[in-house]
Amino acid sequence: MALLSNNRLAWQYHDDAGNVWRVAAVADITSQGKLGGEAWNGASPPKPASIKMRRITVRNAALGVSRVVPVYAPGAPIQTAGATINLNHLNVDSYPFTSDGNTIPEGHIRHNVTRQAA
């Protein structure tokens, strides 16, 4: 597949409380229609930094890599296990990544579980 452009555009994020916020998104990824949301309407305010967006993990088993991508609206197609989305890898080419179906909720903070010996 061809390398996706990294051009960004103004997009809308729908939070869990029903508010709509302006965020920046990668145009070639949102154009696939898998992450939800829609083009900025010109009126929604910028998303406050205090809101950590919901996300989901996608994986390409052949490459052995995974990514976390934003989910801009509840019920987005990517939230279904097995849904695919094309993403760049190593800035060489784009590949299909498959959703695990487990959405990381808004505000969730993933803690580093690495331990080091004293």
pLDDT tens for 56-109 read 999 999 999 999 999 999 999 999 999 999 999 998 899 999 999 999 999 877
Confidence check: pLDDT of 118 > 90: no
pLDDT of residue 107: 83
What are the backbone dihedrals phi and psi of residue 79, each rounded to the nearest 5 degrees, phi first? -80, -5
pTM of the model: 0.87
Domain ranges of the chain: 8-104
Alpha carbon distance, N-terminus to C-terminus of the chain: 46
Cβ-count burial 3-35 (b if 16+ within 10 Å, e if not): ebeeeeeebbbbbeeeebbbbebbebbbeeebb
Structure tokens at 50: 């205090």
The average confidence (pLDDT) of the chain is 92
Predicted local distance difference test score (pLDDT) of residue 110: 62
Per-residue pLDDT at 116 exceeds 80: no
